[in-house]
Copies of this chain bind each other. A is one copy, B any other.
Amino acid sequence: MSFVRTPDPTPGWLSDEELAVIRQRLPLLYVEAVPVRVDGMGQVTEVGLLLRVNPDGQISRTIVSGRVMYGESLRDALFRHLEKDLGPMAFPQLPASPTPFSVPEYFPPPTLGQYSDGRQHAVALAYVVPVTGTCDPRQDALELTWMTPEEAASPSVSAEMEGGRGALVRAALASVGRLP
């Protein structure tokens, strides 16, 4: 395996093999979003969690999450992953501020940290994003489930969250003053 040094017509694109190698060498930069519904006063009323079937057939919950590509702004990456995970009619309201509410660090297990990712060391910039339209998750997510803040913060939902993201959902709720 080797990198091609000729000019690249698709910058940011990496073969699966190249990415697999890099994942052992560098922390990868991610953006993550906790989709929420807000009322007319901006108060968060519901949290949207993605339900999906993992490659091993196990069902788990997660949030919107994806890699930032070479040359891509954080804002563009956030929008692209929101559209990919929630569909084109979700109409997310991207935050005016690019400062995340939290910066979760995912390490391969065994890890002493809160968050884990079996594939890689990843650092994510995490945002709370109100969506105003209709969500239509792509095929590998079975469903977007809307929950109250209380449900989303509960131990039973937390136990189903991938990579320890239950704590991240609670931190998201805390950042909007809605952690029970």
Contact = CB atoms under 8 A, between A and B. Distances in A.
Stoichiometry, copies per complex: 4
A125 B3 CA distance: 28
Nearest to A95: B42
A75 B42 contact: yes
Interface of A: 1-3, 5, 8, 11-12, 14, 18, 21-22, 24-29, 36, 38, 41-44, 68-76, 79, 93-103, 105, 107, 113-114, 121, 123, 125, 128, 130, 167, 170-171, 174-177, 179-180
28 contacts: A5-B21, A8-B24, A11-B25, A12-B26, A14-B26, A22-B26, A25-B70, A26-B26, A26-B29, A27-B69, A27-B70, A29-B29, A29-B123, A41-B75, A41-B79, A42-B93, A42-B96, A68-B123, A93-B93, A96-B128, A96-B176, A98-B102, A98-B176, A98-B177, A99-B101, A103-B177, A167-B179, A171-B177
